[in-house]
Structure 1
Amino acid sequence: MKQPQDVPGHADATPPSGCGGARKKRRERMLDASDIRLLMLHFLQSGPAHGYELIKSIEELSKGEYSPSPGIIYPNLTLLEETDAIQVVDVAASRKAYALNAGGRALLAEQRDAVTAIITRLASLAILVNNRSIPAIEQAIDTLRYTLNHRLAQEQIAPETVATVVAALREAAAKIAQS
């Protein structure tokens, strides 16, 4: 039987290069365009803002784990302006700052529950990030990921091995869910 120090990526073993290190930013789409529009209206109710400031406000809400691209922010600002939910503060300014108007306030009031759900989702992502960065948890995740990838990178995997891996993952998931 292998001892813990013989398991690649274990705390007592030399970590393989490429494991741990810098975290990757989330790439999946966290919010759809309507969610983004509601968040922008939410932040604009605090006062006028530029597109870049709205991006930073959303990024801050998720503690840096989600940052909408300018490609989603600016077209949605234009759409909100065209639908009379926001207005440009100073048309002559080199950078447009937007302010919420009556249409935007009405939309926010109408969609209050949706806004709360979106904010909760992003805030919970920030909590997840904080808890995932607990050193012992981070190391355990890295060890599991490395060991699983190392085992699955082999060309021939016996059906018994697949069954063992699946059972171990399900057991671990059940124990974590019950903790």
Structure 2
Amino acid sequence: MFGFHKRMGERHARWHAMRGGRHGGFWGGGFGDAFEEGFGGFGGGRGGRGGRRRVFDGAELRLVLLALIGEQPRHGYDLIKAIEERSGGTYAPSPGVVYPTITMLEDMGHIAEQAAEGSKRLFAITEAGKLEIGEQAEKVEALFARIAAMGEEPGGEGRFPVKRAMMNLAMALRERISRGDRSPDIAHEIAALLDETARKIERL
């Protein structure tokens, strides 16, 4: 048990370092956190005053992600997109909770990384993960029913295209920021693109 918690701490430290911390400027995690906060008006998974809804607790989210990976190998963004689609576009968990949960599932031995092209990490379920899903079959069914019910709530469907586009942008920025080249010129180019898009939206 001690070894498991030690590995979790090491994994979390590496994950946090990759994000650049909370105060790393444009190329740091502070930018990503601020962008994720911007999803507040479009639904999502963060609780707290004025924040997004917390739909699942940690154990429930682990089970949902494990079940989705059990259907087919998936990477982080694919998991977010799958939940969003199942909810009719009314809910998508934050990358800030999905990626640490993936790390936890890997450390628990329920999923394992697979060979994949590109920089995205692809995960498949293990025999231990399949056993867990089998033992929790009724709960998994109830959790997916809860997700499907969100799509039947009034008022959410009109936000789906915008929310999807925002999530795509957030993931593109996160993946670009995580790469080695973090020159000021690249940062200015990205900022110019975002500013231009903002101006076009204001003119609609």
- Bin of the TM-score, shorter chain as denominator length: 0.5 to 0.7
- Return the alpha-carbon distance in structure 2 between the equivalents of residues 91 and 119 of structure 1: 28
Equivalent residue number for residue 77 of structure 1: 102
Aligned residue among 109, 113, 121 for 1:96 = 121
- Which is higher, the Rg of structure 1 or of structure 2? 1
Count of matched residue positions in the alignment of Structure 1 and Structure 2: 110
- Return the alpha-carbon distance in structure 2 between the equivalents of residues 131 and 77 of structure 1: 27
- Return the alpha-carbon distance in structure 2 between the equivalents of residues 31 and 116 of structure 1: 14
Question: Could you state the TM-score of these two structures normalised by the residue count of structure 1?
Answer: 0.57
Equivalent residue number for residue 44 of structure 1: 69
- Matched position secondary structure for 2:54: coil
Question: Which amino acid letter does the alignment assign opposite residue 42 of structure 2?
Answer: K
- Matched position secondary structure for 1:109: helix
Deviations 1:79-134 (A, max 9, x none): 0000000000028852110000101101101111111111111111111237998x
RMSD: 2.2
2:42 equivalent to 1:25: yes
Deviations 1:49-73 (A, max 9, x none): 1100000001111111110011111
- Matched position secondary structure for 1:88: strand
Alpha carbons of structure 1 residues 110 and 91: separation in structure 2 relative to 1, 3 Å:
same
User: Are the counterparts in 1 of residues 84 and 90 from structure 2 also a CA contact under 8 Å?
Assistant: yes
Which structure is higher in helix share?
2
1:1-179 residue pairs with structure 2 within 5 A?
A: 24-26=41-43, 27-90=52-115, 94-129=119-154
Question: Could you state the TM-score of these two structures normalised by the residue count of structure 2?
Answer: 0.50
- Return the alpha-carbon distance in structure 2 between the equivalents of residues 121 and 41 of structure 1: 16
Deviations 1:18-67 (A, max 9, x none): xxxxxx42321111121111111111122111100000001111111110
Question: Which amino acid letter does the alignment assign opposite residue 117 of structure 1?
Answer: A
Question: Which amino acid letter does the alignment assign opposite residue 129 of structure 2?
Answer: G
- Return the alpha-carbon distance in structure 2 between the equivalents of residues 87 and 72 of structure 1: 19
* Structure 1 residue ranges without an equivalent (≥5): 1-23, 134-179
* Structure 2 residue ranges without an equivalent (≥5): 1-40, 44-51, 159-204
User: Are the counterparts in 1 of residues 64 and 140 from structure 2 also a CA contact under 8 Å?
Assistant: yes
Superposition misfits of 4+ residues, deviation over 6 angstroms: 130-133
- Return the alpha-carbon distance in structure 2 between the equivalents of residues 32 and 119 of structure 1: 14
- Matched position secondary structure for 1:129: coil
- Return the alpha-carbon distance in structure 1 between the equivalents of residues 114 and 157 of structure 2: 41
